[in-house]
Amino acid sequence: MDATVGHAHAPTTLSEDIARCVHCGFCLQACPTYIELGMETDSPRGRIALIDAMSTGRAQPTPALLGHLDLCLQCRACETACPSGVAFGRIMEEGRAMAVESGARPQSWALRIHAMRQVLPHPKRLGALMAGLRMYQRSPVRAIIRRTGVLARVSADLDAAERSLPEVASASFVQPQQPAGLTKSVAMLTGCVMPHLYSRTHEATVRVLNRLGYRVIFPEAQTCCGALNLHGGDRVFARDLARRNIDAFLDANVEAVIVNSAGCGSTMKEYDHLLAGDVRYAERARQFTSITKDVLEFVAEHDLGALGEVRATVTYQDSCHLVHGQKVATAPRRIMKAIPGIDLRELAAPDRCCGSAGLYNLVQRKMANQLLSTKMDDVAATSATVIATANPGCMMQLEAGVRQRDMRTRVVHVIELLDEAMSARESGAGGVG
Ligand code: SF4
Ligand code: SF4
């Protein structure tokens, strides 16, 4: 199943994508929202029919219709299940973009789009926000707020939102010193929230790539990948960000563009489709797509040698945009199975969305919590002490689940386990995950 090279996407139109659906319904039982609600309108097949009706003028983008689109996690589990190869992710992106570009989008969508434009591609603004959050989380104010339950008295939703805020790392990511003499080079996406929330994952990624002989370049002109904009219907802005990234990364002249956030990587691997109609960028986008790789996919292609021991009972949550978006399922498992001491226990439904899905857990709290609760039951059944995954959104959501249940379970990116195993080999000591 795992992709070994970047995909090249033949440009297709919305009607061509929709026409591939033969209404068989094989996708229904793969769809988390259909499983929870049992409604055709909240299934992949139903949503395709709604988008088809909207695109042909048989239905208007009413709030009710758009509500069914908004409840879609864009997890793309339906794509994996579909025997006809329906590109559901593209259909949903097109459907949302159609609503936004026609001006029919609800006010909440417009606000979301505005907020994402104003924050995500602006490292200084995002840095200031994260610094404020870090200060709050380390101040006595948080303990007082939680002890007194003041937020819960104002609004249960506000209280739940405060409790599910991600923990900001004590220091944001700074580019590390790298060993001299590395002859090969790759470029890496820094991302928007990852340097602040998971600097440790970035650091682990660089160390692993260095050990495999690669110098890691962080092109200065790179920007946010545009995934959240695209998923929110803001295709115009996502295309701008894609063009900026293509220029930044192709100018670096490297062997591969490495991404350790599956959601970002999935979108970046589809820049060729996003810019297929852009005469200036179509070819460069294809070139970019062909060298973009998820870090686990890239690393698994290399000889990792004998790894040191990491003693841990680990379960793996497939990030939707790695398994369904990028079709990478075996590489992370192969890496973890190569680490002595890891007891890998599969979840009952490892490729079912945890409810994170970009901004989904903020805008669709009820469904996101339902899915998280099912996921945490599933985790508890494995007795794992470590949950490994491959995307910062999943890490945040699973950490929130661990806190809600007061579990003593560590949430990590798979690359961190590999880094620990490589460190253990170097030091000659075993680690405890
Ligand atoms: S999307 Fe695929 S699986 Fe679902 S109804 Fe259409 S053809 Fe069948
Ligand atoms: S992307 Fe996920 S939530 Fe949306 S229709 Fe497909 S399976 Fe259901």
Q: What is the 3-state secondary structure (H, E, C) of the chain?
A: CCCCCCCCCCCCCHHHHHHCCCCCCCCHHHCHHHHHHCCHHHCHHHHHHHHHHHHCCCCCCCHHHHHHHHCCCCCCHHHHHCCCCCCHHHHHHHHHHHHHHCCCCCHHHHHHHHHHHHHCCCHHHHHHHHHHHHHHHCCHHHHHHHHHCHHHHHCHHHHHHHHCCCCCCCCCCCCCCCCCCCCEEEEECCCCCHHHHCHHHHHHHHHHHHHCCEEEECCCCCCCCCHHHHHCCCHHHHHHHHHHHHHHHHHCCCCCEEECCHHHHHHHCCHHHHCCCCCCCHHHHHHHHHHEEEHHHHHHCCCCCCCCCEEEEEEECCCHHHHCCCCCCHHHHHHHHCCCCEEECCCCCCCCCCCCCCCHHHHCHHHHHHHHHHHHHHHHHHCCCEEEECCHHHHHHHHHHHHHCCCCCEEEEHHHHHHHHHHHHHHCCCEEC
Atom number, ligand 2, closest to the C-alpha of residue 34: 8
User: Is the Cβ atom of 29 under 6 angstroms away from ligand 1?
Assistant: no
Give the model's confidence band at 349: pLDDT under 50 very low, under 70 low, under 90 confident, else very high. Answer: very high
Residue 152 lies in a domain: no
The widest CA-to-CA distance across the chain, in whole angstroms, is 67
Atom number, ligand 2, closest to the C-alpha of residue 77: 7
* Residue 3 or residue 204, greater confidence: 204
- Which among 87, 105, 123 is the end of a domain? 105
CA 45 / ligand 1 centre spacing (Å) = 6
Instruction: Return the residue whose CA atom lies nearest to atom 6 of ligand 1.
Output: 21
CA 21 / ligand 1 centre spacing (Å) = 5
Could you say which DSSP state residue 241 is in? H
Give the number of whichever ligand sits closest to the CA of residue 19: 1
Q: Which residue has the tokens 């339906």?
A: 78
The tens digit of pLDDT for each residue in 32-65 reads 999 999 999 999 999 999 999 999 999 999 999 9
Q: What is the DSSP string of 371-385?
A: HHHHHHHHHHHHT-S
CA 138 / ligand 1 centre spacing (Å) = 49
User: Is the Cβ atom of 27 under 6 angstroms away from ligand 1?
Assistant: yes
Atom number, ligand 2, closest to the C-alpha of residue 43: 5
Q: What domain range is 418 assigned to?
A: 305-432
Give the model's confidence band at 365: pLDDT under 50 very low, under 70 low, under 90 confident, else very high. Answer: confident
Instruction: Return the residue whose CA atom lies nearest to atom 2 of ligand 1.
Output: 82
Distances (CA, A) of 380 to 72, 315, 369: 26, 10, 16
The tens digit of pLDDT for each residue in 291-309 reads 999 999 999 999 999 999 9
Rounded mean pLDDT of 141-156? 83
CA 184 / ligand 2 centre spacing (Å) = 39
Per the structure, how many domains does the chain have? 2
Identify the residues whose C-beta falls under 6 Å from ligand 2. Answer: 30-33, 44, 47, 72-78, 88
Residue 49 lies in a domain: yes
- Which among 58, 78, 105 is the end of a domain? 105
CA 13 / ligand 2 centre spacing (Å) = 20
Q: Which mutation among 18, 21, 28, 42 tests ligand 1's pocket best, with the greatest number of atoms within 8 A of CB? A: 21
Residue 90 lies in a domain: yes
- Which among 105, 139, 156 is the end of a domain? 105
Residue 347 lies in a domain: yes
Asked if the model's pLDDT at residue 26 lies above 90, the reply is: yes
**Which of 157-161, 193-197, 284-288, 327-331 is predicted least confidently?**
157-161
Q: What angle do CA 309, 315, 316 make, to 5 degrees?
A: 105
Residue 203 lies in a domain: no
Structure tokens at 156: 């249960």
Residue 1 lies in a domain: no
User: Is the Cβ atom of 31 under 6 angstroms away from ligand 1?
Assistant: no
Residue 95 lies in a domain: yes
Query: Residue 94 maps to which CATH number?
Result: 1.10.1060.10
CA 82 / ligand 1 centre spacing (Å) = 5
pTM for this predicted structure:
0.92
Query: Residue 424 maps to which CATH number?
Result: 3.40.50
